Structure 1
């Protein structure tokens, strides 16, 4: 049953990515693929938050299923670091190495920072609930 839920959540994440990217592409004033960057940063924040919230649970509980469905399924379907890599390479070729490197670096650093922020917020919320 968990595998089915992960697959369903992955499909929902991919659909959310498509809608988000489509909306941002229409309004993007920059020459870089802003949609993929926003998706990866927001997905990293969401996964960090989820991980922080569920960090206090013991393995084998319902929390593990929730983490698999939402973390692996939804966030895995929503984020797309492979596309970000291709876009960085495309920018490198079309706009020059500096643009490609800056896009990749900003995406990576901002995504890791967002994950850390989400983790800290999730742990703080989980800590408040346990007291």
Structure 2
């Protein structure tokens, strides 16, 4: 691409990763809605927690000093593509807003705070797991 932008391989990798992540997000939502006592909120929460864990673990494993030698294309496939397609801030925002309209601020705030705190915890756990793996002998 002109102007020093990402190359065709990187763009294709991000697009393919996003397609896989979006499909998994859709399937998780479908399963959550079909499961008694769950619903779309559970599906959105699960994919966001999983995505936060995966992106942090992958970043730790493939970054400087990481154990997995993955190039730019592979990193962008997983991090920008797959995790970007899997996680969804827009759905989280809409669901929180609708929950606020239906039940009031306490439930909506609890859901939002829980997902954000859980996502940060999942990212911490993913990165911590990567660091443990990176420290293992050869």
Q: Distance in 2 between matches of 1:83 and 1:31?
A: 13
Q: Runs of 5+ in structure 2 lacking a partner?
A: 1-8
Distance in 1 (alpha carbons) for counterparts of 2:14 and 2:38:
34
- Residue by residue over 1:22-73, the C-alpha shift from the partner in whole angstroms, topping out at 9 and shown as x without a partner, is 1111114157711101110111111111011112359xx7433222110110
Number of aligned residue pairs: give it.
Answer: 128
- Cα distance between partner residues in 2 of 1:100 and 1:79: 19
> Counterpart of 2:114?
106
Q: Is the 8 A contact 2:32 2:38 kept in 1?
A: no
Alignment TM-score, normalising by the size of structure 1: 0.89
Query: TM-score normalised to the size of structure 2?
Result: 0.85
Output the aligned Cα RMSD. 1.9
Kindly indicate whether the alpha-carbon contact (under 8 Å) linking 1:50 and 1:122 is maintained by their aligned counterparts in 2.
yes
* Structure showing greater relative contact order (alpha-carbon pairs closer than 8 Å, 6 or more residues apart): 1
Q: Where does the alignment leave 5 or more consecutive residues of structure 1 unmatched? A: none
In the alignment, which of 41, 47, 51 is matched to residue 39 of structure 1?
47
Moved over 4 A (4+): none
Match of 1:120 in 2: 128
Partners of 2:134 and 2:39 lie apart in 1 by 40
